[in-house]
């Protein structure tokens, strides 16, 4: 049984962005689905430390 981490499920300890509340909503800026990291540079780079401002705003707007 392999313990190799899957690219779609990065370790939270290594990926602070996964702790952000905004990760639970889709990102309107880059199109990342809920639970997935934001991407930059046309999806070639994952944003492990933060999410797009628009995503934070979308999450805030969902908290009615
Ligand atoms: Zn994004």
pLDDT (0 to 100) of residue 1: 62
Residue 35 Cα to ligand 1 midpoint, Å, equals: 11
Assigned domain for 1 exists: no
Taking only the tens of pLDDT, the chain with its 64 residues reads: 656 555 555 577 789 999 999 999 999 999 999 999 999 988 899 999 999 999 999 999 997 6
Assigned domain for 6 exists: no
Residue 2 Cα to ligand 1 midpoint, Å, equals: 30
Rounded Cα distance, 16 and 20, in Å? 7
Rounded Cα distance, 61 and 15, in Å? 24
* pTM across the whole model: 0.77
pLDDT (0 to 100) of residue 64: 67
The CA-based angle 35-64-21, given to 5 degrees, is: 25
Residue 6 Cα to ligand 1 midpoint, Å, equals: 20
Domain enclosing residue 53, as ranges: 12-61
Model pLDDT for residues 11-21, shown as the tens digit of each residue:
777 899 999 99
Assigned domain for 26 exists: yes
What's the number of domains the chain is made of?
A: 1
pLDDT (0 to 100) of residue 21: 96
């Amino acid at each position: 049984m392999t313990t190799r981490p899957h690219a779609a499920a990065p370790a939270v300890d290594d990926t602070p962005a996964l702790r952000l509340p905004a990760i639970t909503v889709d990102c309107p800026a880059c199109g990342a689905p809920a639970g997935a990291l934001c991407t930059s540079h046309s999806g070639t780079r994952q944003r492990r430390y933060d999410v797009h401002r628009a995503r934070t705003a979308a999450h805030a707007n969902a908290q009615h």
